């Protein structure tokens, strides 16, 4: 295919768009690959659409290769199935809802678990029909509160979502592994760095779950890894829990005046003055943080989270634990006199207490641990308050932030923290959806058994952004060969008709050899502008036909390495073809 710059629907921009926060967004807009069409909605321009379709092709080829079968659902879906699984409600404001002319409720599909479950139920009835993996590459909708970072977090985007159906857990494991392997091949082919991390299930509810994260500073997800090979989404990290301590012989709790100590810092300073030999640190204190849980039914509940004083409550970890409830800041101290701001202690907390406020603690708060914590009176704290003796809790919650150097839960060494963006998610759903929608098959003994499912997603449009984000330099985009919108960018410079003729001939020879060529045939554009555009647009091979032509050579440049070579015109087509095809 030959794309001529003179007629290509393309305008490269000199300046960064005002609303672009991250390099991929800036560059994709500046290079004319995408254009904003709506809040969180982008239009793919011709070059961008070619990249998109290349990514889609890689995903499709690998899904087909693993034996998954492609189908395609509508995006506009009826309410009922999502009601049956409660996701109509659980999705909250993230779901686009609408009614048709008859007043029936519809939604724009965020994912399609329900629909796939019903489809398989519709067609299949026996264990002999399984295993089965189905996928689609489809437009998805989420009413994001804050669409951002261009294609990374939009309200309309393209996903490959697939679903596996098995008669038993061993089958699910096999299907899960097959998807995992396919994802590895996909991201390898896309040239996209990734880390496979253990993941929480979020609103999904199930068992094994991993994310393919692309490490990048601009990522919204934090993940951890140890030198020993442990890797997890920060939501999935579990604290290493100390052994409980026998309660016998522990000192009695005592309340002390600690004026003006509403923060951990001020409290520790006062505690050290009072008991210079105790070696108190922030970790000696128990910080009690009030939050409001917004439940899917609309009700609001104040809850106190107790964490060691050297850690903050990590909002994302907390949200993952309490989902589908959402977390909001707590402000209504006036309505809850039991809660003394800055001096909250566990003695007045608990579902069974007078306040009725639930108390959830960090897993490090085990029986026998001693804490300095609020005495529920301004300016007073209690010391040596022993967990399991002086106070109890309604539950344990992994809400404390993970700190660099924390031990990996599998003993593989200290953790380091990094940021990443989720590129793929594989997930053992188990029987949640099959149960809610009654997907059963007859097993070998003629008995009805509930099918077990997996759910697997790759962000196709997001992958384009991630590739742009990871592969660019100060001059522009640097596409890997597999997904570049064209294999070769031929630049004709100057005003010499012979140059344009040679460049056109070369372009056509390359097209005849099966390559896609972007040919800059613009007659009145200066070489400087053309070179700048070539760097910005980022084709992997840039060929310049210009002054060298008089000596019978053209220049071939590798966009990624910057390597240049002069090639005799007569050999150019074959040499370039071989370089592009790697043979």
Q: Which two tokens stand for residue 473?
A: 């330099």
Q: Binders of a copy of itself among 75-94, rule CB under 8 A?
A: 75-78, 93-94
Min dist. Cβ of residue 81 to a copy of itself (A): 10
CA dist 297 and 274 (Å) reads 48
Question: Using alpha carbons only, what angle is made at residue 93 by residues 89 and 96, rounded to the nearest 5 degrees?
Answer: 90
- Exactly one of 29, 31, 66, 115 binds a copy of itself (CB under 8 A); that residue is 115
Min dist. Cβ of residue 156 to a copy of itself (A): 5
- Exactly one of 14, 15, 103, 145 binds a copy of itself (CB under 8 A); that residue is 145
Is residue 100 at the binding interface for a copy of itself, with CB under 8 A as the rule? yes
Say whether 185 sits in a helix, a strand or coil: helix
Min dist. Cβ of residue 45 to a copy of itself (A): 6
What dihedral angle (degrees, nearest 10) is formed by the CA atoms of 309, 311, 317, 321? -20
Site stretch for a copy of itself (CB under 8 A), options 97-105, 201-209, 346-354, 527-535: 97-105
Is residue 183 at the binding interface for a copy of itself, with CB under 8 A as the rule? no
Is residue 106 at the binding interface for a copy of itself, with CB under 8 A as the rule? yes
Q: Which two tokens stand for residue 293?
A: 């849980």
Q: Which two tokens stand for residue 108?
A: 């724009």
Min dist. Cβ of residue 56 to a copy of itself (A): 11
Site stretch for a copy of itself (CB under 8 A), options 1-9, 177-185, 268-276, 391-399: 1-9
Is residue 179 at the binding interface for a copy of itself, with CB under 8 A as the rule? no
Is residue 42 at the binding interface for a copy of itself, with CB under 8 A as the rule? yes
Is residue 141 at the binding interface for a copy of itself, with CB under 8 A as the rule? yes
Is residue 119 at the binding interface for a copy of itself, with CB under 8 A as the rule? yes
CA dist 9 and 28 (Å) reads 14
Judge contact between 463 and 190, C-beta under 8 A.
Answer: yes
Is residue 143 at the binding interface for a copy of itself, with CB under 8 A as the rule? yes
CA dist 393 and 364 (Å) reads 13
Q: Which residues pair with 565 in a beta bridge?
A: 556
- Exactly one of 14, 15, 103, 122 binds a copy of itself (CB under 8 A); that residue is 122
Is residue 5 at the binding interface for a copy of itself, with CB under 8 A as the rule? no
Q: Which two tokens stand for residue 109?
A: 């599909």
CA dist 462 and 484 (Å) reads 16
Cis link prior to 324 (omega < 30° from 0)?
A: yes
**What letter would DSSP give residue 414?**
B
- Exactly one of 74, 244, 337, 404 binds a copy of itself (CB under 8 A); that residue is 74
Is residue 41 at the binding interface for a copy of itself, with CB under 8 A as the rule? yes
Is residue 9 at the binding interface for a copy of itself, with CB under 8 A as the rule? yes
- Exactly one of 21, 39, 240, 337 binds a copy of itself (CB under 8 A); that residue is 39
Task: Bin 389: left if φ > 0, else alpha if -120 < ψ < 50, else beta.
Answer: alpha
Angle between helices 23-30 and 460-470 (to 10 degrees): 100
CA dist 531 and 536 (Å) reads 9
Between 46 and 404, CB nearer to a copy of itself = 46
What dihedral angle (degrees, nearest 10) is formed by the CA atoms of 65, 71, 77, 79? -70
CA dist 284 and 277 (Å) reads 13
Min dist. Cβ of residue 203 to a copy of itself (A): 17
Q: Which residues bind a copy of itself (CB under 8 A)?
A: 1, 7-11, 32, 35, 37-39, 41-46, 49, 52, 64, 67, 69-78, 93-94, 96-98, 100-101, 104, 106, 108, 115, 119, 122-124, 132, 134, 139, 141, 143, 145, 155-156
């Amino acid at each position: 295919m030959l794309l001529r710059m003179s007629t290509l629907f393309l305008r490269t921009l000199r300046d960064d768009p005002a609303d672009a926060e991250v390099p991929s967004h800036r560059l994709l807009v500046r290079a004319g690959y995408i254009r904003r069409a709506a809040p969180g909605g982008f239009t793919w321009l011709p070059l961008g659409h070619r990249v998109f379709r290349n990514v889609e092709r890689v995903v499709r080829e690998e899904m087909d290769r693993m034996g998954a079968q492609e189908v395609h659902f509508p995006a506009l879906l009826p309410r009922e199935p999502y009601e049956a699984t409660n996701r109509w409600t659980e999705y909250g404001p993230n779901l686009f809802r609408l009614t048709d002319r008859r007043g029936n409720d519809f939604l724009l599909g965020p994912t399609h678990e329900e629909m796939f479950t019903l489809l398989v139920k519709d067609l299949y009835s026996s264990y002999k029909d399984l295993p089965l993996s189905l996928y689609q590459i489809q437009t998805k909708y989420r009413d994001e509160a804050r669409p951002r970072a261009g294609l990374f977090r939009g309200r309309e985007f393209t996903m490959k979502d697939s679903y596996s159906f098995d008669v038993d857990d061993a089958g699910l494991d096999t299907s899960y592994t097959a998807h995992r392997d396919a994802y590895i091949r996909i991201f390898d082919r896309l040239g996209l760095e990734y880390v496979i991390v253990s993941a929480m299930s979020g609103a999904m509810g199930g068992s094994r779950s991993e994310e393919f994260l692309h490490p990048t500073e601009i990522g919204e997800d934090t993940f951890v890894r140890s030198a020993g090979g442990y890797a997890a989404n920060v939501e999935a990290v579990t604290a290493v829990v100390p052994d409980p301590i026998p309660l016998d012989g522990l000192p009695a709790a005592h309340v002390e005046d600690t004026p003006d100590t509403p923060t951990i810092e001020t409290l520790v300073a006062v505690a050290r003055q009072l008991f210079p030999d105790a070696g108190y640190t922030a970790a000696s204190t128990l910080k009690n943080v009030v939050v409001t849980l917004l439940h899917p039914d609309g009700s609001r509940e104040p809850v106190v989270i107790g964490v060691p004083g050297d850690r903050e409550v990590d909002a994302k970890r907390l949200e993952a634990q309490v989902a589908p409830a959402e977390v909001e800041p707590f402000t209504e101290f006036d309505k809850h006199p039991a809660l003394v701001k800055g001096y909250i202690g566990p003695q007045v907390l608990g579902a069974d207490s007078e306040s009725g406020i639930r108390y959830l603690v960090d897993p490090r708060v085990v029986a026998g641990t001693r804490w300095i914590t609020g005495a529920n009176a301004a300016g007073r704290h209690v010391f040596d308050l022993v967990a399991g003796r002086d106070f109890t809790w309604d539950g344990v919650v992994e809400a404390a932030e993970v700190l660099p150097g924390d031990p990996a839960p599998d003993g593989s060494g200290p953790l380091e923290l990094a940021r990443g963006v989720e590129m793929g998610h594989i997930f053992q759903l188990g029987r949640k959806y099959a149960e809610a929608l009654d997907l059963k098959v007859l097993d070998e003994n003629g008995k009805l058994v509930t099918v077990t499912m997996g759910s697997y997603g790759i962000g196709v449009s997001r992958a384009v952004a991630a590739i742009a984000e990871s592969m660019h330099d100060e001059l522009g985009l640097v596409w890997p060969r597999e997904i570049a919108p064209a294999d070769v960018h031929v630049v004709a410079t100057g005003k010499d008709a012979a140059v344009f003729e040679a460049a056109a001939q070369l372009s056509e020879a390359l097209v005849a050899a099966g390559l896609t060529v972007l040919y800059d045939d613009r007659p009145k554009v200066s070489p400087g502008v053309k070179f700048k555009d070539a760097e910005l647009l980022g084709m992997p091979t840039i060929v310049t036909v210009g002054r060298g032509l008089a000596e019978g050579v053209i220049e071939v440049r590798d966009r990624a390495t910057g390597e240049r070579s002069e090639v005799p015109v007569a050999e150019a087509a074959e040499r370039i073809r071989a370089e592009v095809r790697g043979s």
